[in-house]
Structures are given as structure tokens and as C-alpha cells.
Copies of this chain bind each other. A is one copy, B any other.
């Protein structure tokens, strides 16, 4: 797998990468333990502060690490990582070290204890912003406090999960900017 060279990216523009709905690999760490989970139930909630809402099932080993640390990194894999993304999602960190098992590289983050995944083109360091819906819905509202994005390729192919082992891969990109009169 390719390792990416990432640069700082404006926090208020994180939606550019998350709003299209890509599958992510969420990394977490707490008390010396780390883990990765495959994740698809997220939405942008605000530009500034840069808020992202994530439904993380309490059945996941990562849930406890994220709940206790209040931190995670949302990492975006490219489409050529479909096998790794599937394998990460079909195993539990209770039994294995997913970084070792699946050949992923942990890189120290700037602001959170959870590591970046070096094979991902975009990594968003997150801290828990509001836990009001964690107990009732397993829904975490995170603030992205640091964003790292590779400048090339401009539009990496991303994976979008449809359930039942099926993925859509991002296709072509179009602009309708001429029709936009509002900042949307």
C-alpha cells in the first residue's frame, strides 16, 4: 500500500472530503491500547467549529477506547484498500493488533493520542465535542481539531459502503459552480 505525504488542511473545509460519504478507518487509543474500525455512519454537522457526527456501535471494541479517551482519528482510505477496509471491519481489536495484522502504519498525531494511518490520504484528528447522544444512540459529536490531507491526487478514489459486502467507488467529478449564488 502507498504511504501518503499529507499537509495541513483548513478545518472549516473538511466537508469537502467527508460530505460525499466515504468509508473511513477510525483509529483510537487509550491506556496503551490502539485499534482501528471501519466506519460509514457519519455526517458533517458544522463548518466552524468543524463538527462531525459519528454513530459508533457499542458492540465495537473501538467504542470503549473512544468513549474513554474522547478522541479518535478519521482516516480516509483509497479504493485500492477495499480488502484491508473489509478485513478491518470483519475482525475485532480484542483479539488482534490490526495495524500489524493488516500492514497499516501508525503515525503519531499532533493533538490526540490516537494515531494517524499513514496509508490513508486524509486524516482528521478529532476530540469529543458533545456526548449528549452517546448513551442513547451511540452517536458521538466530534470536533476536527487538525486535518492532514495529501495534495495529490486531487480526487482520490474513495469507497462508499452499501451493506452486504458491496462498495460503490467514487467516479468522475463535475462542477456546477456557475449555478451557485449562495455559499453552500
Contacts and interface: CB of A to CB of B under 8 A. Distances in A.
Contacts of A175: 165-167
Contacts of A83: 176, 179
5 contacts: A16-B162, A43-B53, A53-B139, A166-B173, A170-B170
A2 interface: no
Nearest to A160: B20
A177 B166 contact: yes
Contacts of A82: 174, 176
Contact of A87 (B155, B162, B170, B179): B179
A167 B27 CA distance: 28
Nearest to A89: B184
Interface residues on A, range: 35 or more
Interface in A1-45: 13, 15-17, 19-22, 38, 40-45
Contacts of A44: 40-41, 55
A141 interface: yes
Contacts of A161: 19-20
A171 B171 contact: yes
A86 to B, nearest CB: 4
Nearest to A184: B89
A163 B86 contact: no
A58 interface: no
A43 B83 CA distance: 24
